[in-house]
Amino acid sequence: STCTSMYQSYWRPWDKACKELWVRKIPQGSYTEEDFPFYDSTMWDYDFQVLFAQWYHRMKEAARTCCLVGIRTQESYHRWQTIYGNKRSYMFYHLKWTQRITKDVFNAYVIYDWQTTDVWTANGRFGWDYNRLYDLYYQAGVPLEKQRVASPFISAAQESLQLYRAIDPDMWGKMICRVNGVNFTAIYGHTSVVARHKVKLPPGHTWESYMHFLLSTLPEKVRLNYLRKLSVSINFWREKGGCLNEETIKQLQACGIKIDVQEHSNYRTAKRPVRMEYQDDLDAPEFRNLPTFKRMCICILKNDHQCKYMGFALTKKEHENKQRIMDFYRRIYK
């Protein structure tokens, strides 16, 4: 996914349609899409990873297959949950750093407990190869914990995108041609313009009116995507309700906001489901989990096309696409 542009919701490395804009050639001997019978242009990278593991397992006629995944719990709360989350099941011999993906195929998070300093200690002690971009980060004075080498166009990388101009200007010239909005994000990616810091409401606006103003500036396809997300969220809070803790419930009641608190939830949580209407803004502990137009404005400013900031997962259509791909793959390899 890319959060640099209101026109592009994703980019695909080595996209054949953008061959003249590639930043480098495909390495010799690499697999390409023609090598994978399950590949579909609508799938996302995480779907591909699962299907690739299954395909590799069958191709090798293996009894068991293990995919090594290099995530570390220090990197984010989401990755911490991968190891310690309550919903984990089907581990390999109850090893908490493993997880079954499908029959006889497992992920193993073998360095889940490593700190950043452990990584560099190992590199120095064993002489392992590593991405030399880290050297440029170090020379530019970037602190160790902020040295990120990943897709430069995702939300987490917006603030550091400007560094590429200084540390690798030749690559920077290719990057601004390859993905829309890269230069704008490099200039404003660390400011409130893209909701990186506290977002301020323009004079004369409510958050709802500001949201509609922002939507009016977007291409139609992108605008309709946000409106669909908003409609789903409004209906969810009206009909089902979101799960909130007691402190937040009491604070909403103290503010005089009309809410309908249910006693039980179908989710595995001690929190209680609360039905309510969308609010303009709320000063509450669980702001990101509450239905406000301000939250929607933040998604738009971030170019968060999937509204992950609001907690959105795959849509029904995206689930259907994923299921269609999975069914197609099962028919081939039965």
Q: What is the pLDDT of residues 209-220, one digit of tens each?
A: 999 999 999 999
Residue-level pLDDT at 322: 61
Helices (H), the chain: 45-59, 77-84, 116-126, 133-139, 163-167, 169-178, 182-188, 207-216, 220-239, 246-254, 293-301, 316-333
Q: At what angle do helices 220-239 and 207-216 cross, to 10 degrees?
A: 150
Q: pLDDT grade, residue 198 (50/70/90)? A: confident
pTM above 0.85, yes or no: no
Question: Looking up tokens 């697999």, which residue turns up?
Answer: 31
Q: What are phi and psi of 89, to 5 degrees?
A: -155, 170
For residue 88, what pLDDT is reported? 64
Q: In this structure, are residues 206 and 200 in contact, taking their beta carbons and an 8 Å threshold?
A: no
Percent of the chain with pLDDT over 70: 90
- Per-residue pLDDT, 104: 93
- Euclidean distance between CA atoms 93 and 285, whole angstroms: 39
Give the span between the Cα atoms of 25 and 33, in whole angstroms: 15
Q: Answer for the pair 9, 1: CB distance below 8 angstroms, yes or no.
A: yes
Determine the distance from the C-alpha atom of residue 150 to the mean position of all C-alpha atoms in its chain, rounded to a whole number: 12
CB within 8 Å of 39: residues ≥ 6 apart: 33, 48
| C-alpha–C-alpha distance, residues 221 and 208, integer Å | 20
> Does 318 score more than 60 pLDDT?
no
Q: What is the pLDDT of residues 71-105, one digit of tens each?
A: 999 988 888 888 887 666 688 988 989 999 889 99
Every domain of the chain and the residues it spans: 207-301
CA distance 24 to 170: 12
